[in-house]
Amino acid sequence: MNPTERILAVLDGKPVDRLQTFYPGFDAWPTQQVLGKPLISGEAIFRNPLTRKIFDKWGPKLVNLVTDPAINADFMKAIQAAIAVGFDLVWVGPTEGQVMVWNSTTLLRYSGSFYELTVDGHGNMYYMYREPAFNTTEDYYAWPYFVKPDDAAQKSYKFFTKAMKKYGDKICVMPQVQGLHETMVLSLGFVNMAVFVKKEPQLLQHFIAYLEAYAMKLCMAMLDAGVKVILLGDDFSNKTGPSMNPKINDELFGASYQRITKAVHDRGGRIILHSCGDNTKMFDYFIKWGFDGGHAYENTSNVDIYKEKERHGDQFTIVGGVGVDYLLTEHSKPHEVEEGVKKLIDALAPGGRFIIGPVHTHPDMDMSKVKIMMETVRRHGNYPI
Amino acid sequence: MNDHLAAVVTAIDEMDLDGIEDLVQVCLNSGIGAEEIIEKGISQGLDIVGQKFEEGEYFLGDLVMAGEVVKTGMKRVSAVMDPAKTKQKGKVVIATVEGDIHEIGKNILGMILSTAGWEVIDLGVNVPADTIIETVKSSGAQMIGLSVLLTTMIGAITQVVDGLREAGLREQVRIAIGGACCSQALADKMGVDAYGETAVEGPRIFDRFKEDLASA
């Protein structure tokens, strides 16, 4: 079996020789701990007064020349780092060019949200959600920056064709597609989202139709590029439970997701849902919508990953498990990492449908602890478990 | 309960954004005072929503929507309120810590506390510890609510605790934390006085603080 065949087998509930491992390759610093830091840091470049002036004046025009290539180079490095550490599955992306540098302090996501440009404490540029772009119905319908799904799909196809050619035989490459619910919340703001469910259902349907078309085109382009497993990123929950009533989520997004997962399955692909927070009340819907597995099960939320193994472990693959709040940080002790990982293996690996890895991407993830996680998997993760 | 006040309670429970203003006006027209509308109408409606949230029947979106209904109703009530007659339980400074700009939980907390009779001084998001401490000094507030969503920003809690200590205020001021990365263990570690898992717990926590401070 090659890496992708192994991951497909796990997602289908079929036996494999050893527990599979997952790397969320989203943040720069973890990757740099493996491959080395760049000679000049992103922070040094971006904080330079001349650069700031350039971005203040021409930021939106530098997408093709600077922003997209820089972001995609980092994602390609994330794949290299994952291979170097020995992972089986890597989360990559989004690579279709979702953002532009609005000015020297702000990123704009084309789907309608603004982000504070900040730093990660390790010399890299970082971002933090600031505000929605659509405060009114008029803002939404007048928005000039929506990307045509075909254009996004072409960019994604180009990236993953290259990635699969270089690394497809070494690791299972899992691209990210933006989720419908989360994108809407970011673009409308949570208050508007809650209000619009009652007062602006037509706008929501219009937005969902666009986002579904976008996600669908991207999924098909990724499959065309040779990818077999896709990660759809859509945070439905917060620490204590779903942000919106699960029934409303189902009414709004269920049909779209069923069409997307069916299309991916019809092409021989598999699709995992990344959703932060406590999704206990959402898992039945995720399964109904056709997702093959879920990532996150954040240990800092109220979700009980062990109970979820009992409830849905025979039909829904659990991806993640290892905390980035402590275990995979510089603060933990090596024996704590080993014990924590062993506990997860013992409880979740029997019966399959489990891929171990960090519960989330995190800019401070300590790769020396990640390597201990991997060594523990090598020692204790061979089936039968 | 008076039928008009009961209608206000129901409107908040059922998140009737379009109907609340008229219902509050009906109360005012029938001679019910602003304070009574808040206490027996708006606040009770919000209590029911909070209870349903804690029981898992309502979700964060419902809390936010109910908050919008409350805001709309409060606008009408506030217009006829006499500030001199308004009773306040005390002052609470709330803020999302420096480096973090998430505000949903903090805003819900502010809305719930205001409706429950607290004077809320909302400093917004990404607030430096110094600003929080200066506000405590200048306002005389004895309670702080800190929102922290990101694990990378928990150090900011320590800055507030240490800052209060350096200013000689730690004994007189109670601090509560909440947000995705928070827990009771973190609250204990950081030396703060309470952890709230959800904003709905806010009034209980700050009522308890008030009792503590009164008996200290």
Tell me the domain boundaries of chain A.
3-27+85-98+148-380
* B37 and B103 housed in the same domain: no
Give the distance from residue A278's alpha carbon to the nearest chain B alpha carbon, in angstroms: 11
Give mean pLDDT, residues A84-94. 96
Would you state the pLDDT for residue B181? 85
Give mean pLDDT, residues A342-347. 98
> Of the candidates B85, B110, B144, which is a domain's last residue?
B85
Residue of B nearest to A129 (CA): B101
CATH number of the domain within which B69 lies = 1.10.1240.10
Interface touch A242/B197, C-beta < 8 Å: no
Give the distance from residue A331's alpha carbon to the nearest chain B alpha carbon, in angstroms: 13
Of A76, A96, A67, whose CA–CA distance to A217 is shortest?
A: A96
Name the domain count of chain B.
2
* B205 and B104 housed in the same domain: yes
Please state, in angstroms and rounded to a whole number, the distance separating the CA atoms of residues A279 and A285: 10
> Of the candidates B85, B106, B130, which is a domain's last residue?
B85
Q: Measured on CA atoms in the order A221, A223, A225, A228, is the torsion positive or negative?
A: positive
Amino acid of residue B109 = L
> Of the candidates B41, B64, B85, which is a domain's last residue?
B85
| B211 Cβ contact list (under 8 Å, min separation 6) | none
Say whether pLDDT at B172 is over 80: yes
Say whether pLDDT at B1 is over 80: no
Interface touch B17/A195, C-beta < 8 Å: yes
Please state, in angstroms and rounded to a whole number, the distance separating the CA atoms of residues A113 and A183: 8
Amino acid of residue A255 = A
Would you state the pLDDT for residue B216? 81
Residue of B nearest to A360 (CA): B151
* B79 and B164 housed in the same domain: no
To test the contact with chain B by mutation, choose from A240, A280, A285 the residue with the greatest count of B C-beta atoms within 10 A, namely A240
Confidence class of residue A65 from pLDDT cuts 50, 70 and 90?
A: confident
* B103 and B188 housed in the same domain: yes
Of B68, B146, B135, whose CA–CA distance to B106 is shortest?
A: B146
Say whether pLDDT at B84 is over 80: no
To test the contact with chain B by mutation, choose from A116, A191, A298, A361 the residue with the greatest count of B C-beta atoms within 10 A, namely A191
Q: What angle do CA B85, B90, B91 make, to 5 degrees?
A: 115
* B159 and B54 housed in the same domain: no
User: A with B: how many residue pairs have Cβ under 8 Å apart?
Assistant: 68
Note down the domain range covering B68.
3-85
Say whether pLDDT at A76 is over 90: yes
| B45 Cβ contact list (under 8 Å, min separation 6) | B8, B9, B10, B11, B12, B13, B66, B69, B70
Residue of A nearest to B179 (CA): A239
* B98 and B198 housed in the same domain: yes
Interface touch B61/A324, C-beta < 8 Å: no
* B35 and B110 housed in the same domain: no
CB-nearest to B65 from A194, A281, A364 is A194
| B215 Cβ contact list (under 8 Å, min separation 6) | none
Amino acid of residue A186 = L
Say whether pLDDT at A337 is over 90: yes
Say whether pLDDT at A86 is over 90: yes
Confidence class of residue A299 from pLDDT cuts 50, 70 and 90?
A: very high
| Residue predicted with more confidence, B2 or A161 | A161
Please state, in angstroms and rounded to a whole number, the distance separating the CA atoms of residues A156 and A335: 41
Residue of B nearest to A196 (CA): B65
Q: Are A244 and B60 in contact (CB under 8 A)?
A: yes
Give mean pLDDT, residues A49-72. 92
Give the distance from residue B101's alpha carbon to the nearest chain A alpha carbon, in angstroms: 7
* B49 and B121 housed in the same domain: no
**What is A192-244 written as a DSSP string?**
HHHHHHHH-HHHHHHHHHHHHHHHHHHHHHHHHTT--EEEEE---EETTEESS
Strands A99-103 and A106-109: antiparallel
Say whether pLDDT at B85 is over 80: no
Please state, in angstroms and rounded to a whole number, the distance separating the CA atoms of residues B11 and B5: 10
CB-nearest to B59 from A128, A243, A363 is A243
Q: Which residues does B contribute to its contact with A (CB < 8 Å)?
A: 15, 17, 56, 58-62, 64-65, 67-68, 99-102, 104, 151-152, 180-181, 183, 197-198
Confidence class of residue B154 from pLDDT cuts 50, 70 and 90?
A: confident
* B13 and B44 housed in the same domain: yes
Interface touch B101/A116, C-beta < 8 Å: yes
Would you state the pLDDT for residue A100? 94
Task: For residue A148, report the phi and psi dihedrals to the nearest 5 degrees.
Answer: -70, 130
| Residue predicted with more confidence, B103 or A377 | A377
Interface touch B64/A199, C-beta < 8 Å: no
Does the N-terminal peptide bond of residue A94 adopt cis geometry, omega within 30 degrees of 0?
yes
Please state, in angstroms and rounded to a whole number, the distance separating the CA atoms of residues A95 and A71: 7
Residue with token string 């070494």:
A170
Interface touch A324/B198, C-beta < 8 Å: no
Residue with token string 């692909």:
A269
How do residues B98-118 score in pLDDT, each as one tens digit? 988 888 899 999 999 999 999
Q: Are A303 and A339 in contact (CB under 8 A)?
A: no
Whether the predicted model's global pTM rises above the 0.95 cut:
no
Would you state the pLDDT for residue B42? 94
CB-count burial class (<10 Å; 0-12, 13-18, 19+) for B1: exposed
CATH 3.20.20.210 for domain A3-27+85-98+148-380, yes or no, is yes
Would you state the pLDDT for residue B53? 93
Say whether pLDDT at B13 is over 90: yes
Q: Are B63 and B49 in contact (CB under 8 A)?
A: yes
To test the contact with chain A by mutation, choose from B151, B184, B189, B198 the residue with the greatest count of A C-beta atoms within 10 A, namely B151
Would you state the pLDDT for residue B87? 73
Say whether pLDDT at A160 is over 90: yes
How do residues A103-152 score in pLDDT, each as one tens digit? 999 999 999 999 999 999 999 999 999 999 999 999 999 999 999 999 99
Which strands form A113-119's sheet, in the order they lie side by side? A99-103, A106-109, A113-119, A125-132
How do residues A217-265 score in pLDDT, each as one tens digit? 999 999 999 999 999 999 999 999 999 999 999 999 999 999 999 999 9
